[in-house]
Structure 1
Amino acid sequence: MSALPHTPSVAFELDGQPVTAHPGETILKAAQRHGVEIPHLCYTDGLRPDGNCRACVVEIAGERTLAPSCCRAPTEGMKVQAASPRARKSQQMVVEMLLSDMPDVGYQWNDNEPDAPELIAVSACASSATGELNSKNAPAVGQHGELSAWADRLGVSVRPTLKALRREQPAPDLSHPAMAVNLDACIQCKRCVRACREEQVNDVIGYALRGAESKIVFDLDDPMAESTCVACGECVQACPTGALSPKTHIGSQKVDRKVESVCPFCGVGCLITYNVRDEKIISVDGRDGPANHGRLCVKGRFGFDYAHHPDRLTVPLIRKPGVPKEVRPYGADWRDTFREATWDEALDLAAGRLKTLRDTHGRKALAGFGSAKGSNEEAYLFQKLVRTGFGSNNVDHCTRLCHASSVAALLEGVGSGAVSNPVNDVEHAELIFVIGSNPTANHPVAATWMKNAAKRGAKIVLADPRITDIGRHAWRTLQFKADTDVAMLNALIHTVIDEGLVDEAFIKDRANNFEALKANVMGCSPDAMAPVCGIPAETLREVARAFATAKSSMILWGMGVSQHVHGTDNARCLIALCAVTGQIGKPGSGLHPLRGQNNVQGASDAGLIPMMFPNYQRVDNAGAHAWFEEFWGTKLDEAPGYTVVEIMHKALAPDSDPHKVRGMYIMGENPAMSDPDLNHARHALASLQHLVVQDIFLTETAWLADVVLPASAWPEKTGTASNTDRMVQMGRRALNPPGDARPDLWLIQQIAQRMGLGWNYEGEESGVAAVYDEMRQAMHASIEGITWDRLERDSSVTYPCLTPDDPGQPIVFTDKFPTPTGRLQLVPASVIPAAEKPDADFPLVLITGRQLEHWHTGSMTRRSTVLDAIEPMATASLHGDELARLGVAPGSLVGIRSRRGRVQVRVRRDDGTPRGTVFMPFAYVEAAANLLTNAALDPFGKIPEFKYCAVAVERLEVAAS
């Protein structure tokens, strides 16, 4: 990082003026803070200072040589001149020498032929020009980025004699879909090397050769597209000259405006800046937000153009009479199924039929699925609509398919459904236990904090049936057999208790039910569990000892833990492991379920779940029920509603069932792709008497709708989202919705008004600030101190935050738990098998999940040019031994079938996938993995078992060798 080792504040003189340097501050950073410009090229905020370009040299009284200000700390009484004749001459010479070797042109896709690989000359190699300097997050400026900008500031022009000495220009590397490599513009500042190796810790970019022949290389001097580059673009953001630049055909355009927002993909919650020109987002930069500090992944940086895709819905649609309800293939003509409608017609029909079904068949006849891709305000208003307008608690969203079992265990055990510590608190951890998660693919920026912690000396333990990329940084890897999580975790807890490693004070003062837990695990010794889980007993003991004896150990987990019929038990074991070792309530420790969607935490907090009002107040709790009846001014259903999969079952219930679901309103969810056993789910959706779908694309679910309402994408709305770290963050509208599409918040209110609710939220952006303020009152116990004005000013505030001057509490449970007793509740977990085991007909286990380039059901990412170019095809990953057994090579076409469905897909060799197992991402409609999955539910969290079902794989063709 930019700071030097901690030192006291020092007073020194800069250009004749007295100044003060903060502890650990360099001369350059102190000068920037005091408004004094010093040229610099190899330094940028957030990266370790290197001092190799010498553009930032200053003159220090009493010293013979000039000093690089980026890596020199001031001392008390030091006299520094940043613009003395001697310093200025040296600065100008460095800039002139570098500028003299710059190319005359850069390279870019032809704007008139965006799909053709045709090069044209342009006047700038790098991204948009704004005139900003001295910021890691500022786009490069001038013909050669920051170099040209500094030349202008210093009055430097290149002498003809130097131009004549220009070296031969190397050919550009344009092999990668996202980025261009123009080493003729490289000044060897090594910012890209540091960004790749020290910030993102991807270890792709390095240095080769020596002297005048030295150059930047990818891996072993491979073309960028053939290297192990993950396209995070951190090198592009770091590059000061455009030697590394975006390759999209709009990447070099100047911007009309910059809009600060938050990334719409995963739950990390990276703060971003949209660069907008001609009402289009042309690029995205990472901002210095608390979760990302300027870092982004390939989705956050290059996945923005889905908002401009020609598939966007722009007018309301109504199903034509008599057209069967079926999911049509991608590219099918919607005009065969739907007709265009006016907004009044579409809204009247959408709400009118829902109202008729409610009035005719009762409140239980309706249900709603909200979205974790929208804002907190939309989630709050949607669940309020279902509860007060539909009249039941039949409201849910994709948290049911994500971390519902984790939340169930956390609420039961610690009294809160959110994380105890933020992800980047791993910098204070001595041991990091990552289980059931592939963070480099699913939460790439979060993974950078883990990888940096490992470089610092922390021990990472990866526990997963699949060995994923984070395993490269692991101290120990526990590749346990799928479905044996509880056996393995109980063995760790057994070791802690058996070897006297329990934190007795924590158990005595802060936990209940220890004796029951102890009795439960006594039969789960490492020796007994090793054959069950496949991990040697001594390795289990070693990991348990390390976790218990570390000063601070932190657990992070993903859906590999939660998406099982024993998902709640898995999470109970993780809570117990933290509790018996006292590893909770302090820095570098605790429990962190890595949330999936960008706002799945916030949507759950806002009450978009069937058994909880906002802030996790149970609907069947008399006090909470009475409070919300008074707050909303209406009678409310006292019974918990049905969950996602249960609603699908109720849609197919006989007419005699008084709880049969006959109509649904689905906003921004795609259950026709995301639910388990898709044939069943699609049949259920098609059987509804009335289905209203509100979305930005004609998704698989929208094909089954009676009315389709065109909505707003994330860059087209203002609202808040809450990330996995409990940070409430502000998203700001950068664009208007296309055509006649409308904001989701407006649409919810229109449906509510037509169902008889007298809502009136006044103000800009469909009254979003007024909705937020109402939600804040409903969630006063956690976000009372986070006002709309504060978010507009600060962009991000962590909850709990109870007063306006409360900075927020990133680490919770420091002295008590929000349970009725104030103590943690230990809950023993027994080994429960998966609902469906392999047999002779279906001998393999299917594990489903996500991949780096595509998110969830792919409706956004597969419409992103760069993301789909990198991963255009559905694949299934198998171990090399399984491919040999099947007699197929990588790239071959195979059929995969389960008891519920069948798909065809190309195979990929991945020896991190265990033998006897198949891994499939579920983003591809042409090979939808959820046609295969099992809808069996965890009895507590009601989450389906996406991570385990029995399948068979058969060879269809052999790829050419």
Structure 2
Amino acid sequence: MIETTEKTMTVTLSIDGQEVTVAKGQTILEAAQQAGITIPTLCHLKELSPDGSCRMCTVEVEGGRKGGLVTACTAHAQEQMVIHTQSEKVRNARRFILDLLLSNHQLDCFTCSANGDCRLQDYCLEYGVGATSFTGKRQLPNQKDTSNPFFDYDPEKCVMCRRCARVCQMRQGRDVIRTANRGFDTKMLPCGGGNWSASLCESCGNCVSVCPTGALSTKGHQSYRKWQTEKVLTTCPHCGTGCQFYFIVKDGKIVDVEPADGPANQNLLCVKGKFASYKFVTSGERLKQPLIKRNGQFEEATWEEALDAVVEGFSRLKEAYGGDSLAGFSCSRSTNEDNYVFQKMVRTAFQTNNVDNCARVCHSASVHGLAMTLGSGAMTNPIADITGDVDVILLVGSNPTEAHPVIGAKIRQAVQRGTKLIVVDPRKIDLAHQATLHLQIKAGTNVAFANGLMHVIIEEGLADMDFIAQRTEGFAALRQVVADYPPAKVAAICGIAEADLVAAARLYAKADKAPIIYCLGVTEHSSGTEGVMSMSNLALLVGKLGRSGCGVNPLRGQNNVQGACDMGCSPFDFPGYQKVADPATIEKFSRAWQTRLNPAIGLTSTQVLPAASRGEIKGLYIFGEDPAVTDPDLSHVRHALTSLEFLVVQDLFLTETAKYADVVLPGISFAEKDGTFTNTERRIQRVRQAVAPVGSGWEDFRVFCQVATRMGYPMAYQGPQEIMEEIASVVPTFAGVTYERLENIAGLQWPCRSLKDPGTAIMHVGEFARGKGLFQALHYHAAKELPDADYPYLLSTGRMLYQYNTGAMTKKTAGINQLAPDSYIELNREDAQKMGISDGSRVRVSSRRGTIETRAVVGDKVLPGASFMTFHFEDGNANELTNAVFDDIAIIPEYKVCAVAIEPLP
């Protein structure tokens, strides 16, 4: 038997006659699981500390005190312990526990949605407990709460395991659910004791996912039983977090979703992933047949007719005006494989580099800025690393509890564990209430703010001079510039307290582990790339790059916007960020694709639309994007779309953009195809087909192959696996990526340069991708349009929790529309009072570009003089107002700052 020593830190014990050696500190339950021995549990959750409340994991310890019965989830394994998990004493104890539970439980298994998927039912069958021996008082009947739009709660089926409360408090970080009342009246209730719909519940559904009985059940669960279904593991189609979940499929139709233990989410989901990731798949609004516009009206067509029209339209324009008169917008919600084939079609068949994706209007500043300073424009560290064992989180221009909810929940968990949180945001976002510091800076002042932090760090001797000397260049110029940004000056520019700026600098610089996490509040400015480089400057200054718990981490917005960039859907980059401007890259891909490629750098999407208005771009192929909703200054977007001679849109629905098209091709959803997505942490993960495509939909890549082939460039693939093999052959950072390796739920993080390469969790370890990290000396420049007498309020835009992007997917879920039905503008109560506007009243909002009407939400989330809107809603889209001015480097729009006038409606 192995002896316990400080060196080995292990203990050896016997469980049911089997010798087991485990790490010191593990519980008996963990030791049994390691040995493949099952011990029943009701309250235990592996992600949380033991609770021991249900007692079902009772085991017998030979020679133990008080009869030797202990709970395996709380008792630690000890050297030479002898454990019995199925002795008669143990089984009798478990029977007694089950008897007690049934004394307060409604036995209607045949009608319960959890029938066949209920731990209480399973254990009662295993231990022969069919009814309770207790009589008398019990939980009152008919107390079911059905007020939540997605799930129901029935206290008669609750076993008080407290899983729901613990996952809400310690994993979701909301603490909405509490144990209420006493005795047989005890039940799990939202705080305040009201119903679910009146509570602060976010409807994430994580409580439902962990419920071991039918007490909490999705409304859809009534339509199926577990034995009627199959599970398909896939990746969420919403934000860039990359949550893994299982589709529950019955008779070829998706009926539910269960979280999976993926590396990014670890069995957590948000409301969109849990409840709004599949209803759109079978929506009656899905496009099922190609459409051709004839005499101003759409008519259904066959695929042959539609493809003939597409090829004829683009070929005619290419012959008359050249390939650079054409352009393509790729889809950041579709797979890597689709995106790779799309950009290849544009470059080979269209013979132009006018190809782009929606990163142009969200994170192109990150791609360009971090590539210039570090050598790679991607998140440096994994999600688990920057929300786990860290001392300080510097959160800048990011609202993850709404835009990346699972990451937001992980940040809340970190704060609970003692991590200090610095929130830098013009709004009082949810996480500001848990922050050590909230610096509510004026929108558009990020560069000044970062320079102010660096000024303090340098002046107080907190810079990592050894790191700077060994691993960076350009420090002298930076030092000279930030010397001009003392705290008093920066505080005045940003509208914050000087003391808070100094405190934030000290907290961040002195912490051992402190990641920078940022999002569109940094990038979507006319100085967006400079804002990104300022984040990089800050991390370089204190040596917080290339190691755990640190880094510069842009949270990518859409599920595969990282992948669309990786796959070369950019006018500047071939797949793998191999530069169009490099003749060697042109030669490489010309050989690989066996054609002569256009060497000219193409136009960005934000340049294509103005060029269309000028008559320079004649034909446009839009795959899965909706610029008539998402782009700034929508009146100009509409003018550009109507100026095109030929427009093709390939999408799931007849979007606002598709209404302008000459040909509309039906796409297929992520649930109907195989492929991969790459999440915000560079993790490549599988997407698996769960159901057959609706209507006559084709796999998207096959459509692109047909178009290319008919235009003279033969292209065909057997399936997405073959496409990934080609990607691996031309992209060095994907050389080790195969579908076989991606069967592992952990996926692979690029760079992954060989079949033996495990992938790269943390970037820039030892050396930056560009060699040395580059400081960029940057001065602050104000936003292009600031409030004045005519337009006295500053408008910023962003996302909210329940709707996603244009709402094309989420609005197909009724519960989502119940929680978030219409547009709104957030106003400060001081401004609202001056204008005579009350909470909920209708207002008119105008800019130099347009006017909309919406609903006022009055409070203190925004500062006086500021306002906030989303673009999710048709009844008041903020992009009618936003300013189409661009960053000079990434050509990214300034969504975050424009001037508006606001007035109450009668």
Q: Specify the TM-score bucket, using the shorter chain as the normaliser.
A: over 0.9
Q: Would you say 1:622 and 2:578 are equivalent positions?
A: no
Secondary structure (helix, strand or coil) at the match of 1:952 reads strand
What does 1:64-79 align with in structure 2 at a 5 Å threshold? 64-65=66-67, 66-79=69-82
1:98 counterpart (98, 101, 113): 101
What does 1:188-587 align with in structure 2 at a 5 Å threshold? 188-248=160-220, 252-254=224-226, 255-303=228-276, 304-321=278-295, 323=296, 337-426=297-386, 427-587=388-548
Contact 2:105-2:139 within 8 A present in 1 as well: no
User: Alpha-carbon deviations, 1:402-460, whole Å to 9, x = none?
Assistant: 11112211010000011111122121221100000100000011112211111111111
Q: Which residue of 2 aligns with 1:111?
A: none
**CA spacing shift, 1:7–1:891, aligned 2, 3 Å:** farther
* Separation (CA, whole Å) in 2 of partners of 1:404 and 1:388: 24
* Separation (CA, whole Å) in 1 of partners of 2:7 and 2:451: 43
* Separation (CA, whole Å) in 2 of partners of 1:799 and 1:376: 13
Q: Would you say 1:734 and 2:734 are equivalent positions?
A: no
Q: Would you say 1:919 and 2:874 are equivalent positions?
A: no
Contact 1:39-1:91 within 8 A present in 2 as well: no
1:871 counterpart (815, 820, 829): 820
Unaligned runs of 5+ in 1: 107-121, 132-140, 324-336, 655-659
Structure 1 residue 794 displacement after superposition: 4.4
Q: Which residue of 1 aligns with 2:57?
A: 56
Structure 1 residue 208 displacement after superposition: 2.8
User: Alpha-carbon deviations, 1:1-44, whole Å to 9, x = none?
Assistant: xxxx9993322111222223345432222223333222211113
**CA spacing shift, 1:862–1:273, aligned 2, 3 Å:** same
* Separation (CA, whole Å) in 2 of partners of 1:535 and 1:283: 47
Structure 1 residue 100 displacement after superposition: 3.3
User: Alpha-carbon deviations, 1:71-90, whole Å to 9, x = none?
Assistant: 11211111111110110001
User: Alpha-carbon deviations, 1:371-420, whole Å to 9, x = none?
Assistant: 00000011111111111111111001100011111221101000001111
* Separation (CA, whole Å) in 2 of partners of 1:540 and 1:36: 55
Amino acid at match of 1:260: L
Q: Which residue of 2 aligns with 1:777?
A: 729
* Separation (CA, whole Å) in 2 of partners of 1:452 and 1:795: 22
User: Alpha-carbon deviations, 1:551-574, whole Å to 9, x = none?
Assistant: 121100010100000111111111
User: Alpha-carbon deviations, 1:718-746, whole Å to 9, x = none?
Assistant: 00010001100001000111111222122
* Separation (CA, whole Å) in 1 of partners of 2:831 and 2:729: 56
Q: Which moved more, 1:711-720 or 1:886-895?
A: 886-895
* Separation (CA, whole Å) in 1 of partners of 2:14 and 2:424: 54
What does 1:889-904 align with in structure 2 at a 5 Å threshold? 889-904=838-853
**CA spacing shift, 1:806–1:251, aligned 2, 3 Å:** farther
Contact 1:903-1:928 within 8 A present in 2 as well: yes
* Separation (CA, whole Å) in 1 of partners of 2:462 and 2:31: 48
* Separation (CA, whole Å) in 1 of partners of 2:253 and 2:869: 34
Q: Which residue of 2 aligns with 1:686?
A: 642
Contact 2:221-2:255 within 8 A present in 1 as well: no
Structure 1 residue 298 displacement after superposition: 0.3
Contact 1:421-1:589 within 8 A present in 2 as well: yes
* Separation (CA, whole Å) in 2 of partners of 1:602 and 1:466: 30
Secondary structure (helix, strand or coil) at the match of 1:283 reads strand
Contact 1:125-1:241 within 8 A present in 2 as well: no
Q: Which residue of 2 aligns with 1:333?
A: none
Secondary structure (helix, strand or coil) at the match of 2:54 reads coil
Amino acid at match of 2:327: A
Contact 2:365-2:892 within 8 A present in 1 as well: yes
Contact 2:285-2:653 within 8 A present in 1 as well: yes
* Separation (CA, whole Å) in 1 of partners of 2:142 and 2:21: 46
For the aligned residues, what is the CA RMSD? 1.7
Q: Which moved more, 1:674-683 or 1:738-747?
A: 738-747
What does 1:24-173 align with in structure 2 at a 5 Å threshold? 24-63=25-64, 64-65=66-67, 66-105=69-108, 123-126=111-114, 141=117, 145-159=118-132, 161-162=133-134, 165-169=137-141, 171-173=143-145
Contact 2:374-2:772 within 8 A present in 1 as well: yes
Q: Which residue of 2 aligns with 1:850?
A: 799
Secondary structure (helix, strand or coil) at the match of 1:544 reads helix
Amino acid at match of 2:832: L
Secondary structure (helix, strand or coil) at the match of 1:527 reads helix
* Separation (CA, whole Å) in 2 of partners of 1:772 and 1:621: 24
Q: Which moved more, 1:91-100 or 1:311-320?
A: 91-100
* Separation (CA, whole Å) in 2 of partners of 1:726 and 1:867: 29
Amino acid at match of 2:378: A
Contact 1:21-1:27 within 8 A present in 2 as well: no
* Separation (CA, whole Å) in 2 of partners of 1:638 and 1:302: 46
Contact 1:572-1:828 within 8 A present in 2 as well: no
Structure 1 residue 865 displacement after superposition: 2.1
Amino acid at match of 2:723: V
**TM-score, length-normalised on structure 2?**
0.97
Structure 1 residue 164 displacement after superposition: 5.6
* Separation (CA, whole Å) in 2 of partners of 1:413 and 1:402: 19
* Separation (CA, whole Å) in 1 of partners of 2:723 and 2:364: 26
Contact 1:711-1:737 within 8 A present in 2 as well: no
User: Alpha-carbon deviations, 1:456-503, whole Å to 9, x = none?
Assistant: 111110001011001122110000112211111111011111111111
User: Alpha-carbon deviations, 1:154-199, whole Å to 9, x = none?
Assistant: 222114x436654322511111101111112111111111100111
Contact 2:179-2:186 within 8 A present in 1 as well: yes
Structure 1 residue 369 displacement after superposition: 0.3
Structure 1 residue 211 displacement after superposition: 4.2
Q: What is the percent sequence identity of the aligned residues?
A: 40
Contact 2:826-2:861 within 8 A present in 1 as well: no
* Separation (CA, whole Å) in 1 of partners of 2:378 and 2:628: 28
Q: Which residue of 2 aligns with 1:883?
A: 832
**CA spacing shift, 1:7–1:462, aligned 2, 3 Å:** farther
Contact 2:835-2:903 within 8 A present in 1 as well: yes
Contact 1:730-1:795 within 8 A present in 2 as well: no
* Separation (CA, whole Å) in 1 of partners of 2:745 and 2:212: 28
**CA spacing shift, 1:552–1:251, aligned 2, 3 Å:** farther
Contact 1:251-1:283 within 8 A present in 2 as well: no
Contact 2:10-2:21 within 8 A present in 1 as well: yes
Contact 2:180-2:188 within 8 A present in 1 as well: yes
Unaligned runs of 5+ in 2: 1-5
Amino acid at match of 2:204: C
* Separation (CA, whole Å) in 2 of partners of 1:786 and 1:15: 43
Q: Would you say 1:813 and 2:768 are equivalent positions?
A: no
Secondary structure (helix, strand or coil) at the match of 1:428 reads coil
Contact 1:435-1:558 within 8 A present in 2 as well: yes
**TM-score, length-normalised on structure 1?**
0.91
Secondary structure (helix, strand or coil) at the match of 1:46 reads coil
Amino acid at match of 2:682: R
Q: Which residue of 1 aligns with 2:3?
A: none
Structure 1 residue 892 displacement after superposition: 0.9
